[in-house]
Structures are given as C-alpha cells and as structure tokens.
C-alpha cells in the first residue's frame, strides 16, 4: 500500500513538472515499481506531420529504464533502429546509387554488424542492460515487434564502427580493390560552445548544434529524455536529461543535476582502432551524464573508458564554472603522433624534441584536453608556411596565408565556399583566448593531436570539408565575441541565438538551402537538433523537426523525485 502511495505521489509531481514545461502527459506505465511517462507539448508541433513534440521520463536501473522506453515508444524505437540505421550508412558513400557505391554500402553494413557483434560484449554492463531492456519492453508491448538486438546495437554504436573504418581506411582498402577515400562522403558536422562567468553575467550557457542527416526519421521522433537513474553496481548516479530519440541509449547532448553538460562532435583522425572500437561518442556522453560529479570527473571517466575512435567532446561544468574540449582518440598508454605521417612530410613538422619542450597539456591515454584556460603554443604556427608549400606543390594549388587569418577574430575562409585550407596540413589556431569561452567544431586544435589528421587517407576523407569546418569555428567565435563587445555579456536568449547561428532566419540564410524540405516544399528541415542549456538552473531548450517549429523546454530539477 505504501509503495502504491509513493508511486502515485511521484506521478502527481511528474505530471505537474511536465505541465510547468508546457507538456501534457499522454501515457504512464509502471513496471518493477518504476514509472515511465510519455508527454506531448501543448504547442510545439512537427510542421510536416502535425504531431506534437514529445518528451519522456524514465526511472530505475538501466534495464528498467530501457524496458519502460520499449513500452512507451515501440514504434519509434523500430523506426530509429531499422530505418535510421540502414539509411545512415548511405550517407557515408558519395555515389550511393551507383553499382560501386552499392557494393561499398553493403560492405559497410556487413562490417558494421560483424564488428558490432564483437564490440557489444565489450560495452559496459549498464549500456548492454539498457539495450536489452529496450528490446524486452518492445517485445512485451508488441510480441510481434520487428525491433531486434542487432539493429539496436547498430543504432547506438554503429556510428563508431563506421567512423573507425572510414577514418583509417585500413580495412576498406583491402576489401575493395582500388577504393579511394574520395569515394566516401562522411557527414562531418556539429558545433558547440560554453560561455560563463562575467561574459554570461554569472550564468553558464552550453550550446550544442548537432548537425547530422535525419534520413526522414530522426527529425520526426527526436525528444528530450529525462532519466532518474538507480544504480546496481555501487556507483553514485545522477538525474539527467538526454537529447536523443527512442532506442538511443546514447546522448547527442546531455546535462545532469550537477550542472555537467556534454556533447560530441566528429573529428576525423587516424588514431582510431576498428579492431577495438570500445565506447565513444553518444554512449560515452551518456555514461558521463549519468555518473559525472563535475567536469573534471567527466574527463576522468573518459580517460578510464576504453575507446577506439577519434572525437571531440565538449564538457561544461556549470557549478564550478569550467569547460573544456576533450580531443580524443583510441585509448593508448603513450602517444604515437608520427606513426602514420608520410616520410616526405616529417621534415616539415616539429620533431619529438620540439613537442616535448612545447607540451601545453598532458597526454591522458589518448586524450588531450583544452580547458578554458588552455594556452595555445603559438610556436607551432611557424610550421604552417612549409606545410602550405608542400600542399600547394602536391595539389597544384596557390593558397596563401596572411597574418590576420590567425588573429583572435580572424578567418581562414571568410565564406565556407572559399578554399584557403590546405586540407588538414596546417596547425589550426585556437581563436578563443578568453578564459570563460570554449568553442569546438570538427577539428583538433591541440597541435600534437593535429598530427593524427595529417595521415593522407584521413586527410582525403575530410577533403574539402575542412574549409567548412574551419569557417564554422571562425564564424561562431566571431559572433560570440561580437555579441560580448556589443552587450557586455551574453544572456540565455542571446546564447540560444548564437548556437542557432546557421539557421535560415539568421545571418546565413543560404547555409541550409539544400536541406530537405517539408512535403509542401515550404519549410526547411533541421538536419539534427540544436540545444541550449542553462547549467545553473537545469534548463534546456531544444529545436528539432523544421526551422518553423517551436522550441521545447525541459527544466530538469522539477523532475527529480
């Protein structure tokens, strides 16, 4: 009887929490004494379908939370694990409709499932339990469900498997004779920032622009998912909100009740290991959100977690007012910066003695961390002239660098269609010299880590996208600094506009002109999801679906029961 009363009290409190965030509870399930809730926004709708934007509340152990999600959203789990994962692979192939493109797609899918099978057993128990719970919940809701474990794994770790084999080329070039990296078309996108301290009037704003093909699925089912976790392994766990979609155990962005916010951006590097993929990207972000007490603790979790793929992680610590970019690769005891550098390039690069004498941060089992007070060793920029000459000669180009390109508010490309980047063969400057701002897009900035992107295959996979990557970093930096100069400090509303800097209604209406449109051709689809977090107050506003759709909000502290 007491347990029933406790459950009813929790439900009443949760219904009121959703009401305050402008949601209406549509479905409540109770299993194992745990509560799961599906709510729909009162106003925010998907332009195309007319369906209201959803949010979910889950509690209990990882298995129990997964089971509740399966009961609440079996149809959406199926869409993400089946349609989304299959179509996602085609986005890694340049000419997916050609005969050779078809062959490459089939190979990628085959490798994804083969490596996935082996890697699944290496995932932390908590992750495996939640995936199993999702499957079992779907089966209970619909005994004839087509959801299966193979596709659930591919949804959650498939991106890591794909990136590990595409970034390195070791496996692909053996399997398909004559394969060129230019035949691959990796969707390298995403932006993030943290602004705090005096430039945020004492607030802490974490912006996350997840840019990724929605392949006619994600934009319809994306949702904030609120977790109230219970641990079974003797570890302390914390309530958090995850921006994701049903079936995704991982988080494209997240923040916990301790004010620790996290996101992940692609960052191609040869420091990836297809033979031991480990835990990366959305799964690693999720693990940190569930367990991290602080920003530094999140870094420690990443350091101790076996990883096998290169990524950039942004970590923002709203309680301690710190933030960092974790430039990550596969877990290694010691660095091997020069292992994949061509012999002809080595004389143009700093040697080991130079690296030792100019180290700015420690190497931590494959991670190097740019905290907000990181000081970039500018001596590395002196190597850019010789690298530029090397690239020009190799590619019959005539690119030149001017000094203002490397200033605090400078641009290497003033427009993303300019091509002033010599692929990855240069040391990229760190623009943010302010101790209360960090910014990331899709490239390493720590000079030692930069060497991992100079492997010819990896550089070719990135190709001309390097120009857009650098431009987005420079433009986001410029807009942040300009806002601070204009207003003195950034508030939550301004921070939301800043992370939305590429939207069609902003300064660059042309940027997403080629995005898929709504069925009537009038509205532009958001390929991904844009979120802004107020880490001091536990608030997140998210925008997904179409650019004309309303944003939706979750206030995390209200759901902590």
Q: Radius of gyration (Cα) for the chain, nearest Å? A: 23
Q: Which residue ranges make up each domain of the chain?
A: 77-183
Residue 36 pairs in a beta bridge with 29
- pLDDT at res. 99: 80
* Secondary-structure percent of the chain, ordered helix, strand, coil, rounded to 5: 40, 20, 40
Q: Are strands 528-534 and 539-543 parallel, antiparallel or unpaired?
A: antiparallel
Question: In what helix (H) or strand (E) does residue 184 lie, and over which residues does it extend?
Answer: none
- pLDDT at res. 219: 97
- Angle of helix 149-168 relative to helix 281-291, nearest 10 degrees, comes to 110
Alpha carbon 18 to its chain centroid, in Å, reads 26
The predicted-structure confidence for 522-539, as pLDDT tens digits, reads as follows 999 999 999 999 999 999
Q: Residue 187 in 3-state DSSP?
A: coil
The set of residues, in sequence order, having a beta carbon less than 8 Å from that of 147 and lying 6+ positions away, is 70, 74, 77, 78, 81, 82, 134, 135, 138, 139, 247
Alpha carbon 100 to its chain centroid, in Å, reads 30
- pLDDT at res. 106: 87
Order the strands of the 552-555 sheet from edge to edge: 437-440, 191-196, 204-211, 528-534, 539-543, 552-555
Q: Give the pair of three-digit tokens for residue 237.
A: 């766990």
- pLDDT at res. 145: 98
User: What is the DSSP-derived secondary structure letter of residue 270?
Assistant: S
Other Cβ atoms closer than 10 A to 319: 14
Phi, psi of 49 (to 5 degrees): -90, -25
CA distances to 9, 34, 194 from 3, in Å? 10, 10, 42
Alpha-helical regions (H) of 430-538 = 447-450, 456-462, 465-487, 492-499
Question: How big is the chain, counted in residues?
Answer: 561
Angle at 314 between CA 309 and CA 320, to 5 degrees: 140
Place of tokens 């490309």: 413
Each of the 561 residues of the chain gets a pLDDT tens digit; together they read 568 889 999 999 999 999 999 999 999 999 999 999 999 999 999 999 999 999 999 999 999 999 999 999 999 999 999 999 889 999 999 887 788 888 888 888 888 877 777 777 788 999 999 999 999 999 999 999 999 998 999 999 999 999 999 999 988 888 888 888 989 999 999 999 999 999 999 999 999 999 999 999 999 999 999 999 998 778 899 999 999 999 999 999 999 999 999 999 999 999 999 989 999 999 999 999 999 999 999 999 999 999 999 999 999 999 999 999 999 999 999 999 999 999 999 999 999 999 999 999 999 999 999 999 999 999 999 999 999 999 999 999 999 999 899 999 999 999 878 999 999 999 999 999 999 999 999 999 999 999 999 999 999 999 899 999 999 999 999 999 999 999 999 999 999 999 999 999 999 999 999 999 999 999 999 999 999 999 999 999 999 999 999 999 999 999 997
- pLDDT at res. 1: 52
Q: What is the Cα–Cα distance from 530 to 527, expressed in whole angstroms?
A: 9
Q: What is the Cα–Cα distance from 81 to 167, expressed in whole angstroms?
A: 24
- pLDDT at res. 415: 86
Phi, psi of 17 (to 5 degrees): -60, -45
Q: What is the Cα–Cα distance from 431 to 15, expressed in whole angstroms?
A: 45
Tell me the DSSP string of 36-53: EEEEEEEEEE-TTT-PEE
- pLDDT at res. 174: 82
Spatial contact of 89 and 105, defined as CB atoms under 8 Å apart:
yes
Q: What is the Cα–Cα distance from 16 to 23, expressed in whole angstroms?
A: 9
Q: How does the average pLDDT of the chain come out, rounded?
A: 95
């Amino acid at each position: 009887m007491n347990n029933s009363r406790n459950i009813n009290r929790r439900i009443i409190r949760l219904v009121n929490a959703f009401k305050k965030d402008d949601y209406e509870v549509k479905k409540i399930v109770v299993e194992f004494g745990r509560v799961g809730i599906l709510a729909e926004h009162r106003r925010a709708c998907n332009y195309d379908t007319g369906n209201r934007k959803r949010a979910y509340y889950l509690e209990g152990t990882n298995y129990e939370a997964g089971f509740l999600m399966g009961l609440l959203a079996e149809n959406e789990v199926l869409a993400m694990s089946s349609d989304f994962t299959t179509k996602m692979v085609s986005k890694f192939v340049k000419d997916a409709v050609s005969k050779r493109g078809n062959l490459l797609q089939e190979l990628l899918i085959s490798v994804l499932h083969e490596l996935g099978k082996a890697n699944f057993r290496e995932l932390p128990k908590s992750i495996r339990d939640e995936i199993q719970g999702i499957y079992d919940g779907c089966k209970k809701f619909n005994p004839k469900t087509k959801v299966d474990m193979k596709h659930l794994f591919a949804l959650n770790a498939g991106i890591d498997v794909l990136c590990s084999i595409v970034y390195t080329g070791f496996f692909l070039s053996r399997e398909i004779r004559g394969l060129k990296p230019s035949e691959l078309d990796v969707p390298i996108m995403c932006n993030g920032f943290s602004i705090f301290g005096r430039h945020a009037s004492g607030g802490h704003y974490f912006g996350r622009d997840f840019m990724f093909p929605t392949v006619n699925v994600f934009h319809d089912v994306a949702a904030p998912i609120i977790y109230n976790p219970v641990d079974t392994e003797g570890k302390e766990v914390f309530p958090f909100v995850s921006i994701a979609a049903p079936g995704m155990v991982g988080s494209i962005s997240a923040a916990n009740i301790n004010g620790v916010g996290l996101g992940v951006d692609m960052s191609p590097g040869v420091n990836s290991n297809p033979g031991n993929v480990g835990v990366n990207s959305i799964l690693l972000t999720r693990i940190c959100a569930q367990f991290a007490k602080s920003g530094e603790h999140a870094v420690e979790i990443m350091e101790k977690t076996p990883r096998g793929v290169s990524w950039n992680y942004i970590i923002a610590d709203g309680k301690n007012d710190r933030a960092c970019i974790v430039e990550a690769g596969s877990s290694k005891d010691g660095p091997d910066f020069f292992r994949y550098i061509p012999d002809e390039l080595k004389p143009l690069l700093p040697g080991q003695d130079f690296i030792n004498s100019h180290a700015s941060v420690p190497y931590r089992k494959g991670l190097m961390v740019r905290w907000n007070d990181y000081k970039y060793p500018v001596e590395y920029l002196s190597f850019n002239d010789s690298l530029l000459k090397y690239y020009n000669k190799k590619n019959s180009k005539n690119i030149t660098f001017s000094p203002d390109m490397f200033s605090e508010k400078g641009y290497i490309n003033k427009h993303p269609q300019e091509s002033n980047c010599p692929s990855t063969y240069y040391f990229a400057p760190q623009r943010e010299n302010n101790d209360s701002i960090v910014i990331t897009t899709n490239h390493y900035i720590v000079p030692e880590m930069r060497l991992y992107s100079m492997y010819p295959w990896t550089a070719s996979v990135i190709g001309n996208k390097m120009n857009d990557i650098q431009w987005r970093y420079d433009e986001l930096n410029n807009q942040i600094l300009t806002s601070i100069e204009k207003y003195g400090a950034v508030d939550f509303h301004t921070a939301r506009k800043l992370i939305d800097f590429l939207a069609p209604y902003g300064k660059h209406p042309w940027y997403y002109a080629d995005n898929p449109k709504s069925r009537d051709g009038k509205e532009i689809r958001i390929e991904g999801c844009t979120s802004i977090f107020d880490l001091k107050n536990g608030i997140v506003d998210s925008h997904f679906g179409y650019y004309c759709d309303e944003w939706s909000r979750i206030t995390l502290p209200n759901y902590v029961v």
